[in-house]
Amino acid sequence: MGFDRPFDRISWQTEGTSSRRGFTLIEVAIVMIILGLLLGLGAELLPMLVKQSKLKDNRMLVKEARTAIIGYAHATGRLPYASANVNGSQTAGRLSGYLPWATLGITGRDPYSTTLYYAIDSHLANTTSVAQFKQRLGDLISGTLSPDLFCDGTTIRAAFIVVSAGENLRANTPNDDNNNGRIDVNDNNRFASPSSVITATYDDILEAVSLTYLYGLIP
């Protein structure tokens, strides 16, 4: 039958190969060792890649929040107040706490499912026009008014900051001062440098907008 011919040929060819034999135990062992190494490598690499990817997403999220807040200032002539709770609606008069993400209309949770934190200079949430807002920034820069939000000791005079608690799920010193893992009204007005490196004890992601930078952005 015509069907049989190809099979006949294959079997003839394999039978005709003089080196045809089974794998030796050593060959199987070598393959198993290589497979084991590859699997082990994968098991180690995968969590590392997930970790790196979350960190990257988180940095982007905090940057986006920063951009949204600048947009809010442009549109309303003031910064939003912080939110007293995770629902993200600004709480009148609140200078530090949760990001008012619902007020801003953005995502409020970082890739680790912790709500972002936010703090502002006290002079910048009660203005009523863009012109007054710009004037207020100018007064803070010139020293007519005293700034009250700082990063990196007192190096950066900030208009506002946005912070993710990072992978360890806790805001760390100097962002959290009373060791409750959150940024709230009980913490002081000094925060870490935005360029702080991640260590075993500090893994917060912080973005700050300085008074002078924001002044330059407001028409």
**Paired residues of 205 in beta bridges:** 164
Question: Is 115 an interacting residue with respect to Ca ion (CB under 5 A)?
Answer: no
**Is 58 a residue that touches Ca ion (CB under 5 A)?**
no
Per the structure block, which two tokens stand in for 212? 């002078």
User: With CB under 5 A as the contact rule, which of the stretches 5-13, 58-66, 151-159, 182-190 interacts with Ca ion?
Assistant: 182-190
The interface region with Ca ion, picked from 50-58, 65-73, 147-155, 186-194 by CB under 5 A, is 186-194
The residue assigned the tokens 């949204």 is 68
Phi-psi region of 84 (alpha: psi -120 to 50; beta: other; left: phi over 0): alpha
Q: Does 204 bind Ca ion (CB under 5 A)?
A: yes
116 binding Ca ion? (CB under 5 A): no
Q: How far is CA 60 from the centre of its chain?
A: 6
* Torsion, CA 44, CA 47, CA 48, CA 54, rounded to 10: 170
Please tell me whether residue 148 binds Ca ion under the rule CB under 5 A. no
> CB within 8 A of 219, min separation 6: which ones?
130, 134
Site for Ca ion in 151-170 (CB under 5 A): 165-166, 168, 170
97 binds Ca ion (CB under 5 A): no
| Residue 88 binds to Ca ion (criterion: CB under 5 A) | no
Q: Does 177 bind Ca ion (CB under 5 A)?
A: yes
- Minimum CB distance to Ca ion, residue 174 (Å): 4
In 3D space, the residue among 97, 129, 96, 111 whose CA is nearest the CA of residue 64 turns out to be 111
Q: Which residues bind Ca ion (CB under 5 A)?
A: 165-166, 168, 170, 172, 174, 176-178, 180, 182, 187-188, 190, 203-204
